[in-house]
Structure 1
Amino acid sequence: MKREIDQLNKVFDSRLRIGIMSALMVNDSMNFNELKTLVDATDGNLATHLKTLEDNKYIKVEKGFIGRKTNTSYSITPAGAKAFRSHLDALEKIIRSLN
């Protein structure tokens, strides 16, 4: 079990980051307000977690406009998908080892 725990990615220690990554794994992209509603976070808290994921190159940020209103959308990068799958695989191994 020690080996599997070492495989866990510290970036995904937060429930919000797990929620963000899970949502982006199954959606091509999501905007800030969609993610905010989904993970039930404040603007500042969500922005902090998104920045961490962006800094680690796990998500891509695209800024644009809808009419005159700014719209920021997020999508998962190939590196982010790979890292998140590895994290989930390690969690599954830990769970299986406890049976």
Structure 2
Amino acid sequence: MVANGGTAPRKRHDDDAIPGKARLRGVRGRVGPGESIELDTLIHHRMRLGIISALAANESVSFNELKALLHTTDGNLSVHARKLEDASYVTCTKRFEDRRPRTEYRLTASGRRALQQYLDHMEALIQATRDTMGK
């Protein structure tokens, strides 16, 4: 993308250096100089975080249950669930129940690990921010 002046805008950070990761500058005293907290942007998106959180709390969740829980459309849920499936964070099983299609999602072991790491990073960031604000 080129700005009005004919030059490309400068990047503020090297966020694109790690695909799927957002680099956050550390809060003073928590992360060493030059280090950063990396958030998994695949999980960080509101809809995908909702999907993966619902699956972490339940053995499996149907497409319709997720749709109602997240107040979203079929298309929106499908797109975000597919991204999680492509990353091997969730599995999708399709079958028929009383002649009606039923799609169920389950969280994989790698999805559970990714969520735990994401939560650890968010908790560290929140705690570091609170510590800094309290000084």
Smaller-chain TM-score bracket: over 0.9
Q: What SS is found at the alignment partner of 1:98?
A: helix
After TM superposition, what 4+ stretches of structure 1 lie above 4 angstroms from structure 2?
none
Unaligned runs of 5+ in 2: 1-25, 27-34, 131-135
**1:58 to 2:92 alignment:** no
**1:88 to 2:119 alignment:** yes
Aligned to 2:57: 26
Q: What SS is found at the alignment partner of 2:36?
A: helix
Residue 100 of structure 2: which of 69, 78, 84 is its match? 69
Aligned residue pairs total 97
Aligned to 2:43: 12
Report which of the two has the higher share of helix. Answer: 1
Shift of 1:13: 2.5
Query: Kindly, what percent of the aligned residue pairs are identical?
Result: 39
Residue 3 of structure 1: which of 24, 36, 44 is its match? 36
TM-score normalised to structure 1 length: 0.94
CA RMSD of aligned residues (A): 0.9
Q: State the structure with bigger RCO (CA 8 A, min sep 6), 1 or 2.
A: 1
Shift of 1:48: 0.2
Shift of 1:81: 0.3
Unaligned runs of 5+ in 1: none
